[in-house]
Structure 1
Amino acid sequence: MVNYVVAHDPKWAAAFETEAEAVQSALPGVPLVLHHIGSTSIPDILAKPIIDMMGVTARFDALDAQAGNLEALGYENMGAFGIEDRRYFRKFDAQGTRTHHLHVFLEGSHHIDRHLAFRDYLRVHPQEAAAYSALKQSLMADGPLSWDAYLDGKDAFIKEAEAKALAWFHN
């Protein structure tokens, strides 16, 4: 069985801060605000051990011009990777294990609120966070899963929680 998730590690917050500093240093002159998103940013839930970061910028031109600096940090430039108005990078360690995702959106993108609302909602609604974690545990207990099957298994929960989170976030 492939297990994609592990217990929450309190060190993930510091790992985000360290990586955010490295990314900022690698991109001088790029106006970029970084946020820790995804399950590693939510205490006490199971998560894939990959630090998800979201960057917000006013323009892509400076980022695109310095994308090679991120590659020097070990990031692979994936371009938009299926989402319009996004730049997506992923980082691997020396063993080839994925360690970080960096999603960069333009200011005003609806994806920014979507990610922040989901994170913040689960942080302040522990019962919802526990349900999400239990779903992940259940998906892993059902037997071998492909990555796509794992994502598909979470999809309905995420869509429902995201709708609640956005309504909560904007009130």
Structure 2
Amino acid sequence: MRKVTVTDYQPEWKRKFQQAAKEIKQIFREECIEIHHIGSTSIEGMAAKPVIDIMPVVREIESVDRVIREMEKLGYESKGENGLPGRRYFQRGGDERTHHIHIYAEGNPEVDRHLAFRNYLRQNPQEAEEYGMLKKKLAHDFPYDIDQYIAGKEELVARIEKNAGGEI
């Protein structure tokens, strides 16, 4: 069973994103429109699980299926849609995950939702701090129960998403 770990912000998260984005861009080439650093590690100063969340946006989602082997050569494990239609999901690091890749096609509303959430927290540091503190508390209270950790965040995440909705 993997332990839920939340750490203080680490400046190297930005560098790790940039390196992974460069590798992904080399695989997808012109099919990739843009690559975004999302999730808590993209919010400067915010505590987070030390897993880099990356969101490439591609022209056609089916193009991802043609480069799975190349992604695997970089150490990524393909998880298909992983429960979210229209997404392709990869993870790297095995049981000690280091990266999550959430790939969407251009125009998928999930792209705007992820960016609005990230941008809202970047522009509202007091809410980012509240969210980071909650994550630390939940990781402390439920160190081996990821489901309880996730459930404990739901109310605050819903409030942040509602507040961020005006910024889409």
TM-score bin (small chain): over 0.9
Q: Could you say if the C-alpha distance between residues 102 and 144 of structure 1 is closer, same or farther in structure 2, counting changes exceeding 3 Å?
A: closer
Q: Could you say if the C-alpha distance between residues 84 and 146 of structure 1 is closer, same or farther in structure 2, counting changes exceeding 3 Å?
A: same
The equivalent residue for 2:122 is 123
Is the aligned partner of 1:113 residue 2:108?
no
The Cα shift of 1:3 comes to 4.0
| Partner Cα distance (2:12, 2:68) in 1 | 27
Counterpart residue identity of residue 20, structure 1: A
Which portions of structure 1, spanning 4 or more consecutive aligned residues, are displaced by more than 6 angstroms? none
SS at match of 1:53: strand
Q: TM-score, normalised by structure 2?
A: 0.92
The Cα shift of 1:25 comes to 1.2
- Preserved CA contact (<8 Å) 1:27 1:69: no
Is the aligned partner of 1:165 residue 2:164?
yes
The equivalent residue for 2:148 is 149
The equivalent residue for 2:86 is 85
- Preserved CA contact (<8 Å) 1:51 1:101: yes
The equivalent residue for 1:22 is 23
The equivalent residue for 1:132 is 131
Counterpart residue identity of residue 136, structure 2: Q
The Cα shift of 1:165 comes to 0.7
The equivalent residue for 1:97 is 96
The equivalent residue for 1:70 is 71
Q: Cα deviation per residue 1:109-135 (whole Å; 9 max; x = unaligned)?
A: 111111101111001101111110111
The Cα shift of 1:143 comes to 4.9
- Preserved CA contact (<8 Å) 1:24 1:32: no
- Preserved CA contact (<8 Å) 1:89 1:102: yes
| Partner Cα distance (2:140, 2:19) in 1 | 33
Root-mean-square deviation (Å): 1.7
Q: TM-score, normalised by structure 1?
A: 0.91
| Partner Cα distance (2:142, 2:76) in 1 | 32
- Preserved CA contact (<8 Å) 1:30 1:63: no
- Preserved CA contact (<8 Å) 2:32 2:56: no
Is the aligned partner of 1:54 residue 2:55?
yes
The Cα shift of 1:140 comes to 2.8
**Structure 2: unaligned runs, 5 residues or longer:** none
Q: Could you say if the C-alpha distance between residues 122 and 68 of structure 1 is closer, same or farther in structure 2, counting changes exceeding 3 Å?
A: same
Q: Could you say if the C-alpha distance between residues 134 and 112 of structure 1 is closer, same or farther in structure 2, counting changes exceeding 3 Å?
A: same
The equivalent residue for 2:34 is 33
SS at match of 1:103: strand
- Preserved CA contact (<8 Å) 1:113 1:166: no
SS at match of 1:88: strand
SS at match of 1:16: helix
Counterpart residue identity of residue 39, structure 1: S
Counterpart residue identity of residue 166, structure 1: G
Count of residues paired in the alignment: 167
